[in-house]
Structure 1
């Protein structure tokens, strides 16, 4: 990434979170933080605690950023190691765990329903002789219960907004949220169960081989028993095959019936 890339990220980040941005030059911008962003980024908990206790609005601070190419020594120069940039990264991750978005529909003249889709991006972690991670994106239509894989790729080009378009309305889910969440997890588990397990077999073979070798050294060289037990535990950690499922993020995406139907034609 270049310094200009970091600068553009900062600009998009603050715009997304409702901050006012004044570009003072081609490579510098002044950001008027919102109260929310000030609390999250400026490390002034006592100030905001006092403002809230006194039932006062409080005054959010301003920040100046540059893309790191300016000669003037003012503002926060954005580069890979900028602490404030990493704060923004972490905040973006924390606040992107879940979302609710609506398909943008323009020029509607009659009411059109929006179908709710629950989308979960799930990280599959394989550990054993070989390790790898895999991301699965699964969508569940909360009206008819239809499931689709590769969901993020399918909806990536759709124009979404945070508010409902005129003459459209979100439908009430038929499938309960808790049930839908579990359906997606069960679908992922079923997919994993259908995979070939050669990698697990190879891991177990390697584990047995390493345990035999360790036992040989233990019996022949009079290795300390505590050391032997620790090494045995480490072999289990290193080679015992296991799979973990982590929900990375997800959300509710409301799509028109036409768009929903088009998703199935992409499969």
Structure 2
């Protein structure tokens, strides 16, 4: 399965965790890991234990990832839905997820207002005959309620930090972050409701066919009712169409008018 904006998602993930990275070619990421990411992703506990024991910094490894639809070079690691590496990254994000507060870095001699944006990265799981995952990134302006999709990609070139720059000041949100989360979920749910529902029809058809076969199997012999009901439950868990949404991480980003105008136009 393909995560539609996997490349941008990975770029932002490694950038936000302090890694040095470049894009040597289309659908490729060359990443110099930090020590923390090396420990989390590269499975070298004895190496880092030894480095700590002898008082050395150690050398984190690098990754050369390919994010296209199929593997084109055995010299690069193909990362895709279902790959162990992507699973590792999701586990790392979930274990470190928190709501961060970041400010646009500006070198200005004039007073500049920074406006609050709630930025939320979500994972959407489609459960049915065929399973699929997508990553979505939304930004909600907490003054006027403007909603933006693909927010992290739009902010890719924006310099952000944890300290407010000189001559900048923040505008207090008029919309609470909790209300902002609800708006983002409603927006995503509305979009999902309008999408092609053929996958739902296919999943229901497959479930009905499997239930019919199951019923036929148990009707031909003295059936075990408990086993029969357990098999029905397993089929529904596997094939009944549903959508799950999970927050990966979120942040409150304070951005200037200039960045806002670039995002909106």
> Could you say which TM-score interval applies, normalised by the shorter chain?
0.5 to 0.7
**Counterparts of 2:90 and 2:200, CA distance in 1:** 36
Residue number in structure 2 paired with 1:237: 237
Q: TM-score, normalised by structure 1?
A: 0.67
| Per-residue deviation, 1:64 | 4.4
The answer as to 2:34 corresponding to 1:10 is yes
Partner of residue 65 from structure 1, selected from 40, 58, 74: 58
The one-character-per-residue Cα deviations of 1:67-109 (angstroms, maximum 9, x if unpaired) are 58xxxxxxxxxxxxxxxxxx99977653343211111111x11
Q: Which has the larger radius of gyration?
A: 1
Change (3 A) 1:178 1:233: same
**CA-atom RMSD in angstroms:** 3.2
| Per-residue deviation, 1:135 | 1.1
1:92-111 aligned at under 5 Å gives the runs 93-106=94-107, 108-111=108-111
| Per-residue deviation, 1:195 | 1.2
How many residue pairs get aligned? The number is 201
Q: TM-score, normalised by structure 2?
A: 0.67
Residue number in structure 1 paired with 2:206: 206
**Counterparts of 1:63 and 1:95, CA distance in 2:** 26
Change (3 A) 1:114 1:241: same
| Per-residue deviation, 1:176 | 1.6
Change (3 A) 1:104 1:134: same
Gaps of 5+ in 1: 15-27, 33-60, 69-86
**Counterparts of 1:89 and 1:216, CA distance in 2:** 41
**Counterparts of 1:91 and 1:155, CA distance in 2:** 22
| Per-residue deviation, 1:146 | 0.4
Change (3 A) 1:177 1:89: closer
Change (3 A) 1:144 1:9: same
Gaps of 5+ in 2: 1-20, 22-30, 39-47, 62-87
Residue number in structure 2 paired with 1:120: 120
Residue number in structure 2 paired with 1:225: 225
